[in-house]
Amino acid sequence: MEKIPFMTEERKQLQVLQQYVSEHLPQRKIFSHIFPFLIGNSEKSTVISEKLKELGYYALPIRPPTVPEGTARIRISLTAQLTVEEMGSLMEAFRIVEKNV
């Protein structure tokens, strides 16, 4: 009997997205489907999250006590349904919003 690879295409797509994010996120390499945009300030992370939501992105702020004080972040989860273009749009929206907050 021939083995059927489980979710092979989806895993490949997640690897493509992880590589894309790692190349475009200056903070660190990404080895997971969940990654942070480090902000630092809790209030700023909340405002950025709200602005991204207005633009159609679901990006939650993660603040103390979940993370240590001064390390608030926006957490993004990759899914295999995302395209590189969509990820690029999100990262560009994040850069613009962060610069203006």
> Domain limits of the chain?
8-100
Q: Which residue has the higher pLDDT, 31 or 28?
A: 31
Residue 9 identity (one-letter amino acid): E
**Res 74: pLDDT:** 93
d(CA 55, CA 19): 24
Rounded average pLDDT over 70-81? 92
Q: Does domain 8-100 have CATH number 3.40.50.170?
A: no
Rounded average pLDDT over 1-25? 79
Q: Does 26 score more than 70 pLDDT?
A: no
d(CA 84, CA 51): 22
pLDDT > 70: percent of the chain: 89
